[in-house]
């Protein structure tokens, strides 16, 4: 220790400065005589994988912490989702029955799990260390699991928020308006993902890019935490649906760029095929070294995409042999305007023509269903007559 006097840190300054660091929010639960007790905690962290340990910091004087401590050594960490701000506030209050009206279940180990939490972690208290005016509570993880795919609740500078990838959060007014449509489409996207056992995504335009605004179903690349926010340049052969369904200027811009890449004739032909089919799909040779499917799943040079442009919308009916359908995209058109693109990815096994056709038609039908949902939700004034 140095001889220097210990500096006095102003408590408000400490709070404000530390408030620059955002946290997630969890609810710690414990069960005592059949009654659930608990508290809202921001100071939660994973500590160790082997052995599996987590920790949180509890105000030593907290009545809720005392109740958890006195209930025994079992506690459960519930990770709150972005739509559980009310749960966060209710459990942080000093009400006598903090869990009234909050759906929960008791697990085999006797832990209280909030039904709508994103994840839960069943723990046994491993150690309680003093940490100034807090107790550092270390828990050994006995069991844990995830329960949903929505975003977590975040706490920052005293306010609540939700996680948005930077690529989506950009001040892009066009993208923000498309997100309203994507939000109401989630149920239909989940159903399509379930039916096809494929990853389904909503693709929007953001300036000069195409961006994945939402996904449903199993990820085509499970090692990626999320594909939401992934961008790729809005350049041929991608974006053909937008070129067909947006205005004439968009169509000409796309055709000019496409002509530079693969010649005017091929570009026009591709666009006409897309128009006639009402969908875009890509088939790849099963043994391809750089399948389109992978190319579009990663940030790779567009040249690779161009190399595979021929695989875009060949007529399925003309392809010979088994078909490896990489993805199918269909436009969501409302009131004559395309609001976003629906894509299904990830059927890796070879298909017959009839099976490929069935999948293409299923994606198109889902796109049509979403258009109706958007109109029924009243998001597009006077659209009903113009579909």
Ligand X SMILES: Cc1cc2nc3c(=O)[nH]c(=O)nc-3n(C[C@H](O)[C@H](O)[C@H](O)COP(=O)(O)O)c2cc1C
**Closer of 47 and 184 to ligand X (Cβ):** 47
CB 281 within 8 A of CB 316: yes
Residue nearest to ligand X (CB): 62
Contacts with ligand X in 94-113 (CB under 6 A)? 94
Closest of 169, 162, 73, 86 to residue 122, by C-alpha:
73
Contacts with ligand X in 138-157 (CB under 6 A)? 155
The three-state DSSP-derived secondary structure of 279-329 is: CEEEECCCCCCCCHHHHCCCCCCHHHHHHCHHHECCCHHHCCCCECEEEEE
**Closer of 60 and 355 to ligand X (Cβ):** 60
Which H or E run includes 36? strand 35-41
42 binds ligand X (CB under 6 A): yes
Strands 231-233 and 134-146, by their bridges, are unpaired
**Closer of 96 and 382 to ligand X (Cβ):** 96
57 binds ligand X (CB under 6 A): yes
Residue matched to tokens 């459990």: 91
**Smallest gap from residue 66 Cβ to ligand X (A):** 8
Stretch that binds ligand X, among 87-95, 251-259, 302-310, 332-340 (CB under 6 A): 87-95
**Closer of 92 and 176 to ligand X (Cβ):** 92
d(CA 17, CA 1): 25
**Closer of 87 and 168 to ligand X (Cβ):** 87
39 binds ligand X (CB under 6 A): yes
In the set 30, 31, 36, 41, which binds ligand X (CB under 6 A)? 41
40 binds ligand X (CB under 6 A): yes
Stretch that binds ligand X, among 55-63, 141-149, 255-263, 348-356 (CB under 6 A): 55-63
d(CA 326, CA 360): 11
d(CA 283, CA 67): 60
- Applying CB under 6 A, which residues contact ligand X? 25, 39-43, 57-59, 62-65, 88, 92, 94, 155
């Amino acid at each position: 220790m140095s001889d220097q006097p210990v500096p006095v840190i102003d408590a408000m300054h400490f709070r404000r400065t530390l408030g620059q660091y955002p946290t997630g929010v969890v609810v710690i639960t414990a069960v005592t005589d059949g009654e659930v007790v608990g508290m809202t905690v921001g100071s939660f962290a994973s500590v160790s994988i082997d052995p599996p340990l987590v920790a949180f910091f509890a105000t030593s004087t907290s009545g809720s912490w005392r109740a958890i401590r006195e209930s025994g050594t079992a506690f459960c960490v519930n990770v709150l989702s972005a739509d559980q701000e009310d749960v966060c506030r209710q459990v942080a209050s000093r009400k006598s029955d903090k869990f009234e009206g909050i759906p929960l279940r008791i697990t085999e180990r006797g832990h209280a799990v909030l039904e709508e939490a994103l994840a839960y972690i069943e723990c046994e208290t491993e150690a309680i260390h003093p940490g100034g005016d807090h107790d550092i509570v270390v828990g050994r993880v006995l069991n844990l699991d995830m329960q949903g795919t929505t975003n977590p609740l975040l706490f920052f500078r005293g306010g609540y928020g939700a996680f948005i990838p930077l690529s989506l959060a950009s001040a892009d007014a066009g993208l923000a308006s498309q997100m309203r449509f994507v939000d109401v489409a989630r149920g239909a996207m989940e159903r399509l993902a379930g039916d096809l056992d494929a990853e389904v995504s909503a693709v929007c335009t953001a300036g000069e890019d195409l961006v994945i605004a939402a996904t449903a179903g199993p990820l085509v690349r499970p090692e990626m935490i999320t594909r939401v926010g992934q961008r790729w340049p809005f350049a041929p052969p991608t974006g053909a649906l937008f070129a067909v369904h947006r205005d004439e200027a968009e169509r000409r811009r796309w055709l000019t760029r496409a002509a530079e890449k693969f010649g005017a004739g091929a570009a026009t032909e591709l666009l006409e095929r897309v128009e006639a089919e009402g969908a875009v799909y890509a088939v790849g040779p099963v043994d391809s070294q750089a399948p389109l499917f992978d190319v579009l799943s990663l940030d790779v040079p567009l040249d690779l995409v161009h190399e595979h442009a021929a695989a875009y919308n060949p007529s399925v009916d003309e392809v010979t042999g088994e078909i490896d359908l990489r993805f199918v995209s269909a436009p969501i058109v409302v009131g004559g305007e395309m609001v976003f693109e629906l894509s299904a990815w990830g059927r890796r096994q070879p298909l017959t023509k009839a099976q490929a056709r069935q999948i293409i038609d299923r994606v198109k039908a889902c796109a049509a269903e979403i258009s109706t949902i958007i109109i029924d939700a009243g998001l597009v004034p006077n659209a009903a007559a113009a579909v």
